[in-house]
Chain A
Amino acid sequence: MQKEKSTEIKAAKQLKAVMAQYFVELGEAARTGNKKIAWCSSVGPAELAIAAGFLVYFPENHAAILGANRSAMDYIPIANAHGYSPDICSYLTSDIGAYLKGETPLTQAFGLERVPKPDIVLYNTNQCRDVYDWMNFYAREYNVPIAGINTPRDQPEVRDDVVEACTAQLKEIVPVLESISGKAFDVDRFREVLACSLECSNLWEETLDMARHIPSPATFFDHCIHMGPAVVLRGRKTAVDYYKLLLQEMKDRVEAGIAAVEGERHRFYWDGMPIWGKLRSLSNLFRELKCSVVASSYCNSWVFSEFDPSDPFKSMARAYASIFIGQDDNFKERYIAQKKVDFAIDGIIYHDSKTCPNNTNTHYGLPERLKQRLNIPYLIINADLNDLRCYSEEQTRTNIEAFVEQLEEVS
């Protein structure tokens, strides 16, 4: 067997260029007014806005940047002081705190004077109620319309009547978009955008699935970085081009035997949110321990296989109602059990995220049930997506090291 080497992912350079282009375009639109801007929750109806000629900006992506560069810790307390509890989504409190302080990392990174002002805000409650309250804050602040879809969560199944209701709500957004853009909505353009988003989704899924190879060519931590275009540029050709490039590189890495973690000894599944401010240190820790976190519920949340351009509204309603986070624990158990098999997982890391109960699956006995059912050990890390006040470096390190020691002892 060829000797494994751990190397950086080359596509990262193109990723930076693609993301820069995205933000510069938004900045240009905000400055000149040449295009209308929609703000959208990350799993919201972005394709509809793109089809109506809007550029789409995602506050959640902005919040993840605040988490990753840890400036979230300067902004969360500001939002807390303004009545947004430390117990609610720290994406929301980071982002609103930054807004209240009048700062954004987009200034230094891409030369944007400020976050591009919205003409409308869009949401989908498929993830949580927080996105709705978050978008409502901006609708009030900027005095712009808010429109969205109220998808139920904890669903035992995605029922047809739910899909019908979501479809109707999607259709109700169209005249609101038309009133702002001043143009008639072109359903054929919507089909094209949805087809493009589906292609992006398929390529992203295939990219994630390359981690089934042993050793894996990329980790969850790499995926968290490279998922940017699947979130903010889905529905646009740029994202499709980017994932063709990234997928090819993954194939090349597999072919060449390049491992994300040199000497990969264990393969883990990550459930829950990333801990953005600790992405690098956690990645390094797992690498030191020769463990590869190869799959996650989180990165797969931007896979929308049910998009069907021939039935755009209904298929979009169904796809967005079908995301992992919106289903009940029985679904989630089946989902993770399948990933265990597909990715040859030998341990599950659950992130119990203090401010994200909707994307935390440790509160109703799921880890213990899966342990019994799959005979798979697990570890719960108590932390948070952005609020590092909820994170203990030493506790986390000891927990992870001890978990790996335990696996080594048994194996």
Chain B
Amino acid sequence: MVARLLRLRLALLLSAFRGPLSRVARHALIGVLAVLAAVVLAALPQFISGPDGAHAPLDTILAAVVLAAAGIVPLFLNRGHLEPRQFGQYPVRSGQVATGLLVSTALSGPVLWLAAWVIALVVLRTEWHEAWWAVAVGGALALLLAICGARVASGLAKLVVSARSSGAVHAVGLLLLVAALPVVVFAVTQALGSPDGRITADAATVLGWTPVGAPLAGIAAAAAGDPETALLHFGVTFAAIAVLIAVWYPIVRLSLERVERPADPGKARQGLDWFERFSARPDSVIGARALTYWARDPRYRVGLAAIPLAPVFIVLALWVAGVDPYLLALVPLPVVLLLFGWSLHNDVAMDSTAIWLHVASGTRGAADRLGRLTPIMLFGLPVLLVGSSVTVTIMGDWRVLPAVIGLNLAVLLVSSGVSSVFSALMPYPTTRPGDSPFAQPAVSGSGSGLAQSLSMVTTVVLALPAVWVAAVAFGDVSFGTNVWALVVGAGYGIVVLALGVLIGGRIFDRAAPELLAATQTFD
């Protein structure tokens, strides 16, 4: 089985060089470029730190990033892989399939690229050549870790995530990449900019004891004449590989024994756009309905279009007033998220009398509230991640990233929670469905100003504790205060949101007929 799988892998690999000449040439070019990239990556730390500088920390950090990517990327991007289920119909034991897949992965493109990178490292680091045994062990461990990590990640993803939702998972992965990219690039450039800096050294020390950083840290230690430390480093990676292999075999067995739930129950949702992607529960369908309305109803779009403009004016005003640009960079994102969550505070009135369906069907208020939050969370959280990352890049200090995320999370969740209460508590007349989004509400007055200002003030007041904790973290930039700010921001925001949903849901449950009567007077 193992030999057969290896042959299969080889055939797959060589198939890239069959067919029309142009295709072969393209693949050959890609291969050459990839190998060149591997060599450049291997040479990068040496190039930055100079011919005789201390490049060991940079080596460790880069290796850790590369090996971690080998384990993380397949979680989201695994469509091209050979996978256990493809062998489900053959009379083979799951153990054989598992071994075969593991061994044959060595012949896959990414692993060959990693091998090229390791070889380039070995060739380029002349000071390692005395500790040749450590180089051999470290390089082998790095490759093994990459193989096992990628296999386990992709196997787990295939097992847990159904084929139907793999597109969504792919999108999430892409989003995380986009969100992380500014910070990673910033952190790496900072580390590369000061190879001797304390931060870089600290990071390398920490990473050196993680499985992903340990192989190169071990080689460096052995080269520096400390074989005991080297063996300890290798031991960390070895243990990780053992765990991964131990997990891999059950994953393969489960993959071969389980069948994905057939798509039949999903049929009801076929061709229903957003409804297709949400489960058939009241809160989910209300969320899908809200998303459909955001896409189809111009009233929502016009309301949202104004949101990015607000922070521009605020920042301009503060800049003219002479506020420190370092703090100014913090302002736009919370303002955007605050307005985004607050835009929900009159959502029931936006539905107008159509809300009768929720009342007549006895929909729980909490489900109604939760469903309406769906678009806010679906768009708000990515904006938050990407925006936070951009914010710290502009501020020029990536260490405050946790505090920035905590602050923004708290603002988004608090404003959503307050809106959940107010949309059930104080609906006020708004533009009717089908009217021009720029038209005035048919009925005016009757508390629109009060509801708007009251909900805004409540949001700001409730957000203050999290803002205070984050401000402390900005003043005293240490790891502890920053993580504390993140924990407080997220925890506090979730508590306020949950309370908002519960209270708003309770109000909706009790006063749904009155809410309907109110929308009837607006219509």
Q: Do A and B interact with each other, yes or no?
A: no
Chain A residues proximal to chain B, CB less than 8 Å: none
Chain B residues proximal to chain A, CB less than 8 Å: none
